[in-house]
A and B are shown apart, each in its own frame.
Chain A
Amino acid sequence: MRALNIKLIRNLWKLRGQVLAIAVVIASGVAVLVMSLSALQALHDTAAAYYERQRFADVFTNVKRAPRRLVERISAIPGVRSVEVRIKQLATLSIEGFEEPVIGQLVSIPEQGEPRLNRLVLRNGRLVALGHPDEVVLSEPFAEAHGLQPGDQLKALMNGNQRTLTVVGIALSPEFIYAIGPGALIPDNLRFGVMWMGDEALAAAYDLDGAFNDLSLGLLHGTNPKLVIEHIDRLLERYGSSGAIARKDQISNWFLMNEIEQLKTMSTILPTIFLAVAAFLSNMVLSRLIATDRSEIGLMKAFGYSNWQVGWHYTKLVMAMTSVGILLGWLLGAWLGRVNTEIYADLFRFPLLIFRPDAGVFALGAIVSLIAALAGSLGSVRRAAALPPAEAMRPPAPPMFRKTGLSQSRVAHWLDQPTRIILRQIFRSPLRALLTSFGIALSVAVMVMALQWIDSIEKIVQVYFHDAQRQNMMVGLVETQSDTTLEEFRRMPGVLAVEPMRFVSANLSAGNRSHRGSIEGISSTPELQRVYDASGAVLEVPADGLILSTKLAGKLGVGVGEPVWIEVLEDQQPVRKLPVVALFETYMGMPAYMNIDAFNRMMGQRPSLEAVNLLVDKSQLSRLYQRLKSIPKVSSVVLKDAAVQEFNDTMGETLMIYISFFAAFAGALGFGVVYNSTRIALSERGRELATLRVLGFHRGEISYILLGEAALLILVGLPLGCFVGHGLGWLMTSAMDSELYRIPLVIKAATDATAVLVTLGATAFSAAVVRRRLDNLDLIAVLKTRE
């Protein structure tokens, strides 16, 4: 081996502490990148393979009732490869040991053979058999939530008839990766479950012999679903179609894609932050390292090594340090990527998992880190190469200090000499000090950004569930009911207040912008479901006009006073032009409200409703549940407490994992910055500190000089970090903004405090490590040798 390479290896070994500290930071960046990108890819691949294997349909629609003979005409639509007609109904279930009403989504499957589309993955038992109309296959998450097994029984209120169904199988479906009940926000496997029944059995139960109410289409590769949807909508208009949707709008797929989209945001912003810090750190370390190496540089050049060779020598040093980090990052990232994907696969219950991280992801992590580190240390390497040999071999002149305004001020009188040393060091190289503070700030900022999610989610829950919703139960009805139903509910046990609600699917448009969504009709002065404007004041719902969520108004490009065209997609399909009368802020979805009386008039109907909001005396819940389970017109029951609980659980699970990742990464950053800067300061100023020890200073007193400087820089870095963290939080919440939800930027003081404490802990640890070295300073060596 060449002598220079041996020197390189020995240098690396001598600097192993610092090499490790830099490597940890680089590894964090690479790991986050590899983790996010490989998980992203795995989710994409897994979902695609799952969809492909189970023939997940491309277009979906439902109708009130259409004859099966239409299948032939539907098949003839250009681009349609396969057609599957089904019956889908909601039923109220009673499950032994579970008091609350449970909503079952009944979906038909052929009694013989496999469905052409949306095939099931049978996990246990078998599919339903011909001639056994009471057999059902349950979705796995639902079955697990209730501990149901093949052979178990449950009661269902189907079309007014109480039936006892027997579970024969447990299955998964690509159609219900996210199984969300009517009116719910996130999956609740205890209170909503998908069940598959035989075609004939369901047709008989709901008087749909020879008919269907749900249609799925598989398209030929390359077909534009839009054209097929236009065809289908025309064909099914008279059968009560509410309009077909493409796969991208199918609710389960839409949630899944949203989740993947979020991951994509994370995988761009976060690694960028970590790699930037890594570049900054390697710059800081390298420039100071080379400064302490100057006599060796002079010697090398005096022996005849060229500038290029010296430059290359230090470039190799940087690359070696970075490579350690990259290697660590690869291992950590691949492992975390796998763990992360498994968490998601578990959450989505993918029956298969394709985790084949692309070599490109690893290469990307390595290249980005190398470039970042090399770019960071380029200046130092160039300076090393350019140092004239004679100058390099002379000891550097004592560094120049000057008095600052502070020295002349009255304050200076009270400063002891060690404190002056600290302050002059900082003022002598303010940029270096600032960069160190900034490195610490980034550590705090990453932590604030991660923890901020908890605050934001809390805020969403507060505003969405507690401020806006005064009801504690929402009951959906099977079909549009007359308002006498309200009286019925008012008389039910424990019901304190009742409010009607109406829903209808509609196209909203203004100019050339449009949104396909729904309109909700609520009473003019809602007590239970309140609408707030942006300033937090309760809005009245005027007799005429629309109240739009700001997000929807933005999408349509309208403000208060401007008209919006409404094209109702149900019943008589009325079309109306209504003015926007108010805007309100909401974090969830893109709702549009109107007065329920105006709603009824628009629909040309007598006072009707599709759902009721209830305020219920919780001590009467048992009796109310009993009653609800026996009413055929009930299609869904959403309990606010359960919804909040489920929301928190689901969010908490995934969030906690992320937050612990970031706490670890933020800690690594803080440690890396402080350890490196104090270690280098120690190597630069070891002689100075040893001199003080000789002069009679105690260990604690000299630690004060070195660590006091670090502490001061940390002190500056901490509030700066909170500030930057708020910025990063804003960046992340803005990036996460979607039609599904908005994340409000809420950062509690406790969050800042936690972030500060985590960073303080990491820096205290690195300070303790450096302190140990300070305690072992060689006092005698320093008397003779000249740096």
Chain B
Amino acid sequence: MSQSSPAEKSDITLEGRSLSKIYHTGTVDVHALRGVDIQLYEGELVVLLGPSGSGKSTLLNILGGLDTPSSGQVHFHDLEITAGDESILTRYRRDHVGFVFQFYNLIPSLTARENVALVTEIAVNPMDPAEALSLVGLGERVDHFPAQLSGGEQQRVAIARAIAKKPDILLCDEPTGALDSHTGILVLEAIERVNKELGTTTAVITHNTVIGNMADQVLHFGDGQVVDSKSNTSRQPARELSW
């Protein structure tokens, strides 16, 4: 399967070829992915939709260098990350990938600024933590601890943390899953802004089909395969979404 990019830019940032993942659990083999091909073009925003267990998270984990496929390859530009060992994967995550989690996963003992600094300290050419936090609209709350922030604010800190190192790819796994719709939209706006202003290739996993409207490309997952794909001719701004 292949998609043509609606965007002008046609460089492929990340590409997965014939990705399969089989989990051996006792006597049963679970096929989480069945030969998925995917290309993420530079600067595009892709939304992965699908029910639980459809394989979208497994794909994201493999693309993010957290997991390895049972077969198939992942290429980041010219680098085949599936050929690398544990330390190559760590290096890849550290230098090129930003993660946003469903449950934020902030370090409770560090303030918002320090949570971002945690990543910028080990990055090659990061932005200033305060700048990253301003980008997600949290310029005023840099010295608050996670326990002093709302869920939406925590998630925006997580986004700031993910983008502060200026990653090539931003991977978001159910970033609005634990939030109400109003807060969820604030978080999506932040993601949208990062994608547009920094040109970061972005993939968002969600159950929520509405979110697909803000993407360049929407992939529907089912039973470990991409069952449908759609390209939007124009992206709907996040602030106009509602559910």
Cα A687 to Cα B105 in complex, Å, equals 8
Q: Is A537 an interface residue (CB 8 A)?
A: no
Which of A401, A417, A696 makes the CB contact (< 8 A) with B97?
A696
Selecting from B72-80, B118-126, B131-139, the interface stretch reads: B118-126
Q: Is A784 an interface residue (CB 8 A)?
A: yes
Q: Is B94 an interface residue (CB 8 A)?
A: yes
Cβ of A784: which chain B residues have Cβ within 8 Å of it? Answer: 57, 102, 173
Q: Is B213 an interface residue (CB 8 A)?
A: no
CB nearest neighbor in A for B129:
A417
Cβ of A699: which chain B residues have Cβ within 8 Å of it? Answer: 90
CB pair A698 B87 closer than 8 Å: yes
Q: Is B152 an interface residue (CB 8 A)?
A: no
A-facing residues in B149-190 (Cβ within 8 Å): 161, 173
Given A401-B147, A783-B102: A691 and B61 interface contact (C-beta under 8 Å): no
Given A398-B147, A399-B108, A780-B66: A696 and B173 interface contact (C-beta under 8 Å): no
Cα A418 to Cα B93 in complex, Å, equals 18
Q: Is A3 an interface residue (CB 8 A)?
A: no
CB pair B94 A696 closer than 8 Å: yes
Cβ of B41: which chain A residues have Cβ within 8 Å of it? Answer: none
Query: What 1/0 mask marks residues of chain B from 82 to 108 whose CB sits below 8 Å from any chain A CB?
Result: 000001001101110101011101111
Q: Is B114 an interface residue (CB 8 A)?
A: yes
Cβ of A403: which chain B residues have Cβ within 8 Å of it? Answer: 111, 143
Cβ of A416: which chain B residues have Cβ within 8 Å of it? Answer: 121
Given A399-B147, A696-B95: A421 and B107 interface contact (C-beta under 8 Å): yes
Which of A418, A687, A695, A780 makes the CB contact (< 8 A) with B67?
A780
Given A399-B147, A695-B118: A420 and B110 interface contact (C-beta under 8 Å): yes
Chain A residues within 8 Å of chain B by Cβ, number: 33
Cα A403 to Cα B145 in complex, Å, equals 9
Cβ of B119: which chain A residues have Cβ within 8 Å of it? Answer: 695-696
Cα A416 to Cα B145 in complex, Å, equals 17
CB nearest neighbor in A for B158:
A691
CB pair A692 B118 closer than 8 Å: yes
CB pair B93 A695 closer than 8 Å: yes
Cβ of B67: which chain A residues have Cβ within 8 Å of it? Answer: 779-780
CB pair A420 B109 closer than 8 Å: yes
B-facing residues in A422-446 (Cβ within 8 Å): 424-425, 428
Cα A696 to Cα B98 in complex, Å, equals 9
Cα A688 to Cα B104 in complex, Å, equals 11
CB B25 to nearest CB in A, in angstroms, measures: 14
Cα A368 to Cα B111 in complex, Å, equals 46
CB pair B101 A783 closer than 8 Å: yes
CB A406 to nearest CB in B, in angstroms, measures: 13
Cβ of B103: which chain A residues have Cβ within 8 Å of it? Answer: 786
Q: Is B59 an interface residue (CB 8 A)?
A: no
Q: Is A697 an interface residue (CB 8 A)?
A: yes
Q: Is A410 an interface residue (CB 8 A)?
A: no
Q: Is A694 an interface residue (CB 8 A)?
A: yes
Q: Is A397 an interface residue (CB 8 A)?
A: yes
Which of B111, B117, B161, B173 makes the CB contact (< 8 A) with A783?
B173
Cβ of A701: which chain B residues have Cβ within 8 Å of it? Answer: 122
Given A694-B66, A695-B118, A697-B122: A398 and B108 interface contact (C-beta under 8 Å): yes
Given A691-B107, A694-B99, A695-B99: A779 and B147 interface contact (C-beta under 8 Å): no
A-to-B contact residues, CB < 8 Å: 397-403, 416-418, 420-421, 424-425, 428, 687-688, 691-699, 701, 779-780, 782-784, 786
Q: Can you offer 9 A-B residue contacts whose CB atoms are under 8 A?
A: A398-B145, A400-B145, A417-B115, A688-B107, A694-B66, A695-B93, A697-B90, A699-B90, A783-B66
Would you list the 4 A-B pairs with minimal beta carbon distance, nearest first? A696-B94, A424-B109, A417-B118, A691-B105
A417-B110, A701-B122, A784-B57 are known contacts; what are 20 more A-B pairs with Cβ within 8 Å? A398-B145, A401-B108, A401-B109, A401-B145, A401-B147, A416-B121, A418-B118, A420-B110, A421-B107, A421-B110, A424-B110, A691-B107, A694-B101, A696-B90, A697-B94, A699-B90, A779-B66, A780-B66, A783-B61, A784-B102
